[in-house]
Amino acid sequence: MAEPVIVGTDGSRPAAAAVEWAAGDAARKGLPLRIVHAVDRLPYEIARYPIPIEDQLDRAGRRILEEAEQAVRETHPAVRVTTAMIEGDPSRVLRQEAGNAAEIVIGSRGHGGFTGMLLGSVGMHVAGQVDVPVVVVRAGVSAPHGLVVVGVDGSDEAATALTYAFEEARLRDCRLLAVYAWQLPVHPFAPEIAYDVDEVRKAQEDYVAGALRAHRDRYPDVAAEMRAVCGHPVTALVEAGEKADLLVVGSRGRGAVGAAVLGSVSRAVLHHAHRPVAVVRAPRS
């Protein structure tokens, strides 16, 4: 049986948006959908004096799962849906679930279950730490714009992210924009060193073109564009992704001239982007 798209829910608006996004992605990929709710009893207990709330938490969890499943069946009736209520810390639950998942989807903010703050603690502890793509979805995402944006930097992680982005663009029948952010090196002890900005920009554009060439051959139906930007990678990616249906980044990159450091960059993008963000990790060697 195909590995499912797994989405975590706590009943919040961002979680509902994540469920809808996950259902759409499962439908496009022909995969089953597994909706998971974590029951974390620890915050409600005090050592030696446990509060008798087991029934309340279980009832609430079942209601959350039933509502999420019903929403999926109404909007994507062809998707095979299963649900699971699992006891434990939400981050740990999702990391364990990732072992049998095609991808993990979570909301960006919630009731303290699967999400919290702009990038919740769960997102921080799951994105980039599991072997499957992790997609963080905001509530109130607008209508599709027909664009997938991906950050590239020459690392294995970025190459894997590029493949994921091309596949998403193919399934959505939309355009792809590859963004490569580069910055001129600073020499505080040798200020006389100068660079021809146009020459450097041309070199960066040639690099991006080379990175796209193999993927264009593999995905001939995807209209792919490149953009080499002189600037900070976080700013470049967030701005490029403002009208994107999905913004894709690798979980770690290389720190060098002309390279987006996608370890720190992916985290910053997750905090600042207002569109769905997929964090993709390269396969372990």
Token readout for 149 is: 């944006």
198-215 mean pLDDT: 78
10-26 mean pLDDT: 95
Token readout for 49 is: 């004096």
pLDDT digits (tens, 9 = 90+) for 30-52: 999 999 999 887 655 555 555 55
* SS3 at position 12: coil
Using alpha carbons, list the distances in angstroms from residue 109 to 95, 119, 136, 199, 255.
18, 7, 9, 44, 30
Q: Which residues contact 222 (CB under 8 A, 6 or more apart)?
A: 166, 169, 170, 175, 176, 215, 216
145-172 mean pLDDT: 92
Strand partners, 277: 136, 247
Task: Output the pLDDT for position 153.
Answer: 82
Query: What's the rounded Cα separation, in Å, for the pair 177 and 157?
Result: 17
Name the residue among 238, 267, 235 with its Cα closest to residue 250. Answer: 267
Which range, 127-131, 194-198, 272-276, has the best average confidence (pLDDT)?
Answer: 272-276
Task: Output the pLDDT for position 263.
Answer: 65
Task: Output the pLDDT for position 190.
Answer: 44
Residue 259: pLDDT above 50?
no
Residue 169: pLDDT above 70?
yes
Q: By CB neighbour count within 10 A (0-12 exposed, 13-18 middle, 19+ buried), where does 205 fall?
A: middle
Residue 186: pLDDT above 50?
no
Write down the pTM of the prediction. Answer: 0.85
pLDDT digits (tens, 9 = 90+) for 56-108: 888 899 999 999 999 999 999 999 999 999 999 888 999 999 999 999 999 98
Residue 240: pLDDT above 90?
yes
Domains and CATH numbers, the chain: 5-137 (3.40.50.620), 147-280 (3.40.50.12370)
137 or 231: which carries more pLDDT confidence?
137
* SS3 at position 178: strand
